[in-house]
Chain A
């Protein structure tokens, strides 16, 4: 039994912390599994819709998922269905090559890295004030507030807010690179 299986088993028992842990464990592999859809659907929307639907699956006592990482493999199937629904809705069928949509491997989650956290925090502290504020607020509030509200809270115009985040990302990447750190790339 994998960590994903254990977390999903807890979620099936209405354990909220278990479902949160399951979300944490599956998010990145699920996102990577959608790489080939990136040109035709908004992957962020597909991931969120899929994760919400998986709560219904977790709470369905009739649903039996068997085998290692079964819930992740099932979620990947749900995500592909959601993506195909979006493709039809957006009329993007002609942009999809069926050969690109073959089954992908479920690769394991890389271990968390405390050194990476320390390095990112140190590099953020070194950012100029306004790019640092813009990036920090997006990191803190990005899940609950639209960018126009975050920008307004910082007394920035929306376009200036985006320019500051873009600048912050570039400077952060340069700072991390100076410490020999690069964020992992997406396997394709």
Chain B
């Protein structure tokens, strides 16, 4: 996978949870990126959440939906 695909892969709000501790895990794609690539991920994550909030009727991003899903 090239860097652009890794950056896009890490932009999703989907995250695995550690089975033992329950802790949210970093994206595997993020782990494969250089520091510059990770900066790009941060900006893309931010832009993605803005886009999602603008389009959602309740103004919720997929991050908020992911958190709520874990609570339900």
Contacts and interface: CB of A to CB of B under 8 A. Distances in A.
A49 interface: yes
User: Which secondary structure characterizes the binding site on chain A?
Assistant: helix
How big is the A interface, by class? 35 or more
A138 B12 contact: yes
A45 B26 contact: yes
For chain B, the bracket of interface size reads 35 or more
B63 A112 contact: no
Contacts of B20: none
B32 to A, nearest CB: 11
Interface in A6-22: 20
Interface stretch (A27-35, A64-72, A125-133): A27-35
Contact of A31 (B12, B26, B49, B66): B49
Given A24-B59, A120-B51, A186-B46, A41 B14 contact: no
A19 B53 CA distance: 17
A39 B34 CA distance: 8
A139 B62 contact: yes
Interface string B37-66: 011011111111111111100111111111
A147 B65 contact: no
10 contacts: A23-B68, A27-B64, A35-B42, A38-B39, A43-B41, A44-B10, A52-B71, A144-B14, A162-B9, A186-B43
